[in-house]
Amino acid sequence: MSQTASSPDAIKLSLEENLIYLHQTLKGCDDFVFRPFRTAADIPGMLVYSALSTDQKYLSQTVLPALYRLEMRPERGFFPEAIRDRLPFLPEKAFTYWPEALISLTGGSTLILLDGVAETFPAATAQVEHRSIERSETEPVIRGPQDAFTEALDPNLAIIRGRMKNPSLKIHLIKLGEKSHTKVALAYLEGEIQPALLAEIRKRLSAIKLPSVQESGFLTEFLARNTYTPFPLVQSTERPDKVVAAMLEGRGAVLVDGSPFALLLPTTFWHFFQSPDDYFQSFFVGTIIRWIRYLAYILAAALPALYLAFTVFQPDMLPLRFLFSLSAARENVPVPTVVEIVIMLIALDIFREAALRLPRSIGPAIGIVGALVLGEAAVSAGIISPIMVIVLALTAISTFAIPTEDLRSTVRIFSYALVLLSSVLGLYGFLLGASAILLHACSLDSLGVPYFAPVATLHWREWQDVFLRAPWPVIGSKQQRIKAQRQNKR
């Protein structure tokens, strides 16, 4: 910005002129308080603050008395520095232009205006109520730390600092949102993160043009670049331990003020299958559970489509006895299998959405109504075959076994697509669809790191944290794919 003293946004010497400007700008904002005062040297001044987000006790007990005792007279060029020496609570920086001063004011600071001073001093009096640290709701673990991020940025960063007591943990603060001026922090471990990667994250962050940033989810599509994919290219988490682990792996974390979800990037497909539990238990258990998650993902995406393909197109691939039960179960169902599946899948998603939106106290009720009453009634009325209920229930449960919500929601898209393909082309259509999904996933990258690395890139040494959860002594010394200079930049 090229502003000069004559610019209308510049803070003037005269208190009166400044007050006219402020009254004009804050017109209609009834929460702002103008508190006049006179210093000991009889200079008139004004405190401007928001009654909502200001610690008024601090104001009246510390700020105001100090101002009353101020005995200096304004002298050109010297006065502001002298005042800062006398008033220890003032920050280093004073404002000479209104726009930045107003951002500070709306953020909860108190502006101190003095007649004859073309600057305004912000006193850090912000006090915003926020939630205390609670248990993680979206990523619960049985064993391990239970704390989760809250909406306020500073406590979140404090937790990360507390878990990583090291000056190489860098926290880079920027403001995003042309209107909301939201604080955004980029945290990383120097020495672990690749400089090129860091530069890329910074570049993408600074290129973001949004009127307001209310949640870290706003940023994902800017950071991932490739928007037209159902796969999540940026991992989000509300667990501090995950953020610290990711930073040790050479990844960056983006935290947004007002959002309890940190963004971790770059992200590969396999990151979504890692749960903190894996690393806190025996590695045998961790490995098996990880395999079960992969299986659950495949089942959630493929089971309805496979059921359709096998029963309608390729019954010769089913064992005879299984076919017996299937044909007996389906005998009285009036609709074709594909209609049955699509109806049930939609019903499943409606139940899910309903259970999510309902107040927590009656949420479980919808599950009972949906699963037990409706399912049982539909089967006994002969509209839906019992086998279909089993298939759908298994699909739903498999979906819930996927540890991250980001991936959970995408898998449903695939299951619909595969069902539609299977309904036309049978197993061939299913395989075609599955190959298309796989090809698409392999074509993706997250900040230059291939999405299916290290599996698709055949860096088999690193598979020990993908298909296995190798024991800590082994995993600790491993070469990390994101740390190493292995990304193929496009």
Site string for another protein, 225-254 (x = CB under 8 A): ------------------------------
**Phi then psi dihedrals of residue 255, to 5 deg:** -115, 140
- Tell me which of 36, 99, 191, 336 binds another protein, using CB under 8 A: 336
The H or E element spanning position 120 is strand 120-123
Among 48, 94, 233, 333, contact with another protein (rule: CB under 8 A): 333
Return the residues of window 348-407 that contact another protein according to CB under 8 A. Answer: none
Give the chain's count of helices (H) and strands (E): 18, 11
Q: What sign has the CA pseudo-torsion 417, 423, 424, 429?
A: positive
Kindly tell me which residue out of 107, 426, 448, 471 binds another protein, with binding defined by CB under 8 A.
426
Give the list of residues 6+ apart from residue 259 with CB closer than 8 angstroms, or none. 151, 214, 215, 216, 217
What residues numbered 431-450 form the site for another protein, per CB under 8 A?
432, 436
Using the rule CB under 8 A, which residue among 196, 285, 328, 438 binds another protein? Answer: 328
Tokens of 338: 């594909």
CB of 312 to another protein, least distance (A): 4
Whole-angstrom distance, CA of residue 350 vs CA of residue 445: 32
Q: How many CA atoms lie within 13 A of 34 on its CB side?
A: 17
Query: Of 337, 395, 399, 404, which lies in the binding site for another protein, with binding defined by CB under 8 A?
Result: 337
Q: Are strands 235-237 and 445-446 parallel, antiparallel or unpaired?
A: unpaired
Between 62 and 314, name the residue whose CB sits nearer to another protein. 314
Closest CB 429 distance from another protein, rounded Å: 7
Binding mask 406-425 for another protein (x = CB under 8 A): -----------------xxx
- Contacts with another protein, 304-323, as mask; x by CB under 8 A: -------xxx-xx---x--x
CB of 1 or CB of 320, closer to another protein: 320
Nearer to another protein, 79 or 307 (CB): 307
At closest approach, how far in Å is the CB of 233 from another protein?
22
Q: Is 73 exposed, middle or buried (0-12, 13-18, 19+ CB in 10 A)?
A: exposed
Of the candidates 266, 267, 261, which has an alpha carbon nearest to the alpha carbon of residue 236?
A: 261
CA 271: distance to chain centroid? 15
75 binds another protein (CB under 8 A): no
Q: Which of 21, 58, 416, 428 binds another protein (CB under 8 A)?
A: 428
Q: Shortest Cβ distance from residue 310 to another protein (Å)?
A: 10
In whole angstroms, the minimum distance from the beta carbon of 378 to another protein comes to 17
Residue 58, Cβ neighbours under 10 Å: how many? 16
Stretch that binds another protein, among 275-283, 325-333, 368-376, 401-409 (CB under 8 A): 325-333
**Cα 384 vs. chain centroid, distance in angstroms?**
39
Task: Show the 3-state SS of 230-294.
Answer: CCCCCEEECCHHHHHHHHHCCCEEEEECCCCCEEEECCCHHHHHCCHHHHHCCHHHHHHHHHHHH
Closer CB to another protein, 148 or 344, in the complex: 344
In this complex, which beta carbon is closest to another protein, that of residue 256 or of residue 306?
Answer: 306
Q: How far is the CB of 431 from another protein (least distance, A)?
A: 10
Contact set with another protein (CB under 8 A):
311-313, 315-316, 320, 323-328, 330-333, 336-337, 423-429, 432, 436
